[in-house]
Amino acid sequence: MSSRRVVVTGASSGIGAATVRAFRGEGWDVVAVARREDRLRDLADETGAEYVVADLTKQDDVDGLRDHLAATGGVHALVNNAGGAHGLDSVESSSVDDWVWMYEINVIGTKRVLSALLPLLRQGAAETGHADIAVVTSIAGLTAYVGGGGYNAAKFAEHALTEVLRLELNGEPIRVVEIAPGMVATEEFSLVRFGGDQAKRDAVYEDVPEPLSAEDVAETIVHALTLPRHVDLDLIVVKPVAQAAPYRLHKGPLAVKGAKG
């Protein structure tokens, strides 16, 4: 596997950083991509991954990422993980700026990276027989919920983009895998959503039995991309057992109904 090179976006924390660690653990060459160089440098020192500092909402940065990859060994797999949410306000009262930010990073950023790297992925597929694209979306892109607003809209769009991409690439040896996580307790996702309010962030996960970890999702991504090349897991929905839907979350211990202690 050391001959395969994977690019992981949104790699400075959470699912992205865990995915870098997981692929390195499997012997892959990994290029970690994010805006925060200090985080990337620490991750590279820890894992031996390469890194590229890039803001995926800026075309010049994405073009620079493409040029670096082309000059240093190409790419055989892409994990498009960068994304995020702002706010839980209603459609009526939510900030247009928040919606624009969510659309830029979740949808347009994904499109920029795919357009830039697909030629390199095709070259990688010609070298090794196949290439892989994994897009990390969310169950928010499959099911609407009160307070979802702009995040639902952005993730539904990213889900649609991924499905169209799979249709467009039909006939080529390139897998397109969508991973749609439910509740994942990472250090930053909800903190960013609530504008840095730590108390609101902590309340999301309070008394929830075993929400997913970033490592759980990373393991799912690596599993999907290390299956035999003819096996394509089109859509993987991964949630904690306590979460039946975005709007139905059990709090407190899980227990068998009617069981007697």
Which residues are catalytic, by number?
Answer: 151
Note whether 231 and 140 are within 8 A (CB). Answer: no
Q: Which two tokens stand for residue 186?
A: 């990472």
Q: How far is CA 153 from CA 170, 218, 234, 239, in A?
A: 26, 24, 21, 20
- In the three-class reduction of DSSP (H, G, I as helix; E, B as strand; rest coil), residue 124 is classed as helix
Phi and psi of 134, rounded to 5°? -115, 125
User: What does the DSSP assignment read for 8-25?
Assistant: EESTTSHHHHHHHHHHHH
Distance CA 133, CA 33 (A): 15
Strand ranges (E), the chain: 5-9, 29-34, 50-53, 77-80, 131-136, 174-181, 235-238, 243-245, 248-249
243-245 and 248-249 beta bridge pairing: antiparallel
Residue 43 Rama label (left phi>0; alpha psi -120 to 50; beta): alpha
Residue found by looking up tokens 């830029």 in the block: 104
